[in-house]
Structure 1
């Protein structure tokens, strides 16, 4: 049980939900940011009974990129977990849709924390996108927490590749976070978590499977597919592991001032199909034919800083994460049809 108050930005999102639940399960008080009271009410109803209702309160932040967006929400907060950042490839304007929300959202959240004397610890959800280099994706490359995506804001602003723009948005946002953390007026300690494609059961409010978050949609994409979809990115981690890393990064001395690359497994979509077919026989007619595969050769990753810092962190396996992800989406699909 802790008296600390944690501000989680983006509570109603996929990862924000997992992070919020992780802090609540550890006994922390949480103030979650959402864009509307309606979203807060729906989220609270979905998770009713999972935690002490007195431990959760809400702050309405309609636009994380607006100046002063977090000035009220941050008051009295001890820990800031900034998870809110766009993750999609439906990009019509590189700056308005991705770059500005990611950069300004991080800047405003951390500037607010800088002005609030109660804040002691901050964790920002970054991404493997901020680590990887599109020019170094060969099997000879091993990415670690020390690597940085070389993409710049100006390059991303002009790019016609939405994936490149998204990756650059995460890089410039995390870079800004470390810049603010190193300023002399900053009194709190920063950590960042850099996950890849995030598996795990989507526990946010889902009103249509068409509105599934991008990473859950990538797993669900093998269902009802005529052929195995191309693997969008061959590295993954479970949302529950990423959420627990946020908690550890902000509540332990060891977790402070560190950048964690958080990759639990490498995979391809034929392996997702294989797990789905074995775990859910009822899906057999909805899955494409897939030969067992070890995946195409690609880069390597080293997330050992997590294990060294937290004494042998136990990652959820690819098989368990895939099964749990699909089980939850199947449950949602059934509920939506009723």
Structure 2
């Protein structure tokens, strides 16, 4: 028997794909939204095991009534759709407005649908961290912290990273600021997500997974620096969206979720140990120095692990399985 009907927005993305699959595996009837029929076709091609197990709707973040049809009769919503780009021309129209208006569109659609009981929104560590205090040594971030970025500052900023982070906190605040909600909301705030990608891509460049840069070179290449040393396996992030709907303690809560702190030099050490018996793979893992740890902030996200109900996936498992999938994808995309 189904546990209920859930809509997953952005279901063809890296996280959205995992969220949709987690709900299917968890016994839910799932509707997914995508920006085009081609995206849907590609998703089903990449995930034949789940073809026919997700009902699809085409929806656009920037269209106010775009989600109304998809939400009819649903009990739950998992809103994962949001721009994830760092190269754009217009701060407001390419990043800020799509993120904020997308969240508002989901909330407004849910308010019009009496069957909706709970909305889970994917936010980010970007909505927590204060970029003006980058390393913030000695400070411990928790779910009670908020990125102080403002719309006005982000609209004129020349720093794409700042604009992206602002889009996340402003979108999350748009949900919490609505005082006319008749359903529960939960926001999930993960850091950098890593894990074996199952979403459709046309090329490896489309992946936007920084880790690929560590295994797509030569062992003599320098290890790139680590920009953000807090990470979570995407499969844990996805499962938290399911758990948030099932555990009453998550109602109207903000869930912070950091699996581990790790730097690129440590990642390549894990990978070299994992593939020690495979010379061909070892030859592609960058190991020419660099990527060393730097002193930085702490994090306390115990509520995330409690909600998950088990320990986080370890970095050893996460990075080994991600590398295997990335190398597999290379071969698939060559075919």
- TM-score when normalising by structure 2: 0.94
Q: Which of the numbers 283, 295, 301 marks the counterpart of 1:285?
A: 283
Within 1, Cα distance between the matches of 2:56 and 2:50? 17
Cα deviation, residue 45, structure 1: 2.8
CA, structure 1 residues 242+43, in 2 after alignment: closer, same or farther (shift >3 Å)? same
| SS in structure 2 of the partner of residue 8 of structure 1 | strand
Q: Which of the numbers 64, 67, 80 marks the counterpart of 1:67?
A: 64
1:306 paired to 2:307: no
**1:105 maps to which residue?**
102
Could you list the per-position Cα deviations for residues 136-190 of structure 1 after superposition, in whole angstroms to 9, with x for gaps in the alignment? 332211000000000001100010000000000000000001112xx23x21100
**1:36 maps to which residue?**
36
Q: How does 1:235-250 map to 2 (within 5 A)?
A: 235-250=230-245
Q: Which of the numbers 262, 270, 273 marks the counterpart of 2:257?
A: 262
Q: Which of the numbers 193, 196, 199 marks the counterpart of 1:198?
A: 193
Cα deviation, residue 291, structure 1: 5.4
**2:162 maps to which residue?**
164
- TM-score when normalising by structure 1: 0.93
**1:138 maps to which residue?**
136
Within 2, Cα distance between the matches of 1:297 and 1:3? 45
Q: How does 1:72-87 map to 2 (within 5 A)?
A: 72-87=69-84
Within 1, Cα distance between the matches of 2:14 and 2:306? 28
- Gapped regions of structure 2 (runs ≥ 5): none
7-16 or 274-283: bigger deviation: 274-283
Answer yes or no: is the 8 Å Cα contact 1:8–1:83 preserved in 2.
Answer: yes
Within 2, Cα distance between the matches of 1:290 and 1:273? 10
Could you list the per-position Cα deviations for residues 284-337 of structure 1 after superposition, in whole angstroms to 9, with x for gaps in the alignment? 2222225598711111000012234455x3200111111111111110001222
Could you list the per-position Cα deviations for residues 116-140 of structure 1 after superposition, in whole angstroms to 9, with x for gaps in the alignment? 1000010000000000012333221
Within 2, Cα distance between the matches of 1:271 and 1:101? 36
CA, structure 1 residues 247+209, in 2 after alignment: closer, same or farther (shift >3 Å)? same
Answer yes or no: is the 8 Å Cα contact 2:123–2:168 preserved in 1.
Answer: yes
Could you list the per-position Cα deviations for residues 209-228 of structure 1 after superposition, in whole angstroms to 9, with x for gaps in the alignment? 0111x2x2x11011234311
Aligned length: 328
Within 1, Cα distance between the matches of 2:86 and 2:203? 19
- Gapped regions of structure 1 (runs ≥ 5): none
